Structure 1
Amino acid sequence: MPQKSQSRYPENWSDIALDVKQSVGWRCSKCGLQCIRPGDDTSELSRSLRTALTLTVHHKNFLPEDNRRENLYALCTACHLSFHTRRRGNVSPGQLSLF
């Protein structure tokens, strides 16, 4: 599986993404799903459920270099994939790794 190009993201991407997720209370901005927060006990969840409940950060304009807050959208995995399905985004659904 090809890796997402890390070179297009700033060195502090993890901090930027964490700030976006915290600002929405770890809820998907599209569907409202409450996602896993740091420190939540996920030991009883299956791998697929943990993946489904993982909050990601999407670039509205599909440009990972554009990290203005108004361009960033906190989304659950399913909603994030829906933005990339049949859309010419910067990654394919198989590339959406959660780092």
Structure 2
Amino acid sequence: MKNRHLYPENWEEISLQVREESGWTCEHCGKPCRRPGQSWPEFCNWLLADVSEPWFEQLSDEVFDDEGGEWGFVDRPQRFALTVAHLNHNPADCSRENLKALCAPCHLRYDAGRHAKVRVENWAKRKREARERAGQLRLFEDNF
């Protein structure tokens, strides 16, 4: 996990509790997700046999193999991973009202705006540092 030092020592326990409380279901879209230790084939069989929603369409993607010249399917187990999101984006705040069990795609969508902002900030920082190494001084702290 990136930036693990920002999370409490018992994060794994907290995360597991939130996911168990959700019934291993995304609290945003309702997608059923894999439980720890559940193999991909077991999960697929359970999903196809026991779930009425058409989640099975997300199990794999049809792709073209450029080298072999044939169509095939690629499994997408990451779409069924249940994660825990910090709604205020502060990993130190593990109050239950700040945590939500989200499937990986919903978690990525939830964090997309923040990720874009951080990407721009990092780009600006790299550009500023490159100019400083070349001898350009800054007039203001927030100067790009």
With structure 2 as the length reference, what TM-score do the two structures score?
0.55
Unaligned runs of 5+ in 2: 45-58, 61-73, 120-144
Farther off after superposition, 38-47 or 16-25: 38-47
Counterpart in the other structure of 1:7:
5
% of aligned pairs identical? 44
Point out the structure with the larger helix share.
Answer: 2
Cα offsets for 1:27-81 (capped at 9, x unmatched): 0000000000123221477785211100000000000000001100000000000
Counterpart in the other structure of 2:109:
82
Where relative contact order (Cα < 8 A, 6+ residues apart) is larger, the structure is: 1
Q: How many matched pairs? A: 89
- Paired with 1:66 and 1:87, the residues of 2 have a C-alpha distance of 17
* Aligned match for 2:36, one of 35, 38, 56: 38
Unaligned runs of 5+ in 1: 93-99
Q: Residues 7 and 35 (structure 1 numbering): CA distance in 2 closer, same or farther, change over 3 Å?
A: same
Point out the structure with the larger strand share.
Answer: 2
- Cα RMSD, aligned residues only: 2.4
Q: Residues 9 and 48 (structure 1 numbering): CA distance in 2 closer, same or farther, change over 3 Å?
A: farther
With structure 1 as the length reference, what TM-score do the two structures score?
0.78
Counterpart in the other structure of 2:79:
52
- Paired with 1:33 and 1:61, the residues of 2 have a C-alpha distance of 23
Amino acid at match of 1:68: S
Amino acid at match of 1:77: A
- Whichever of the two has the greater Rg, that structure is 2
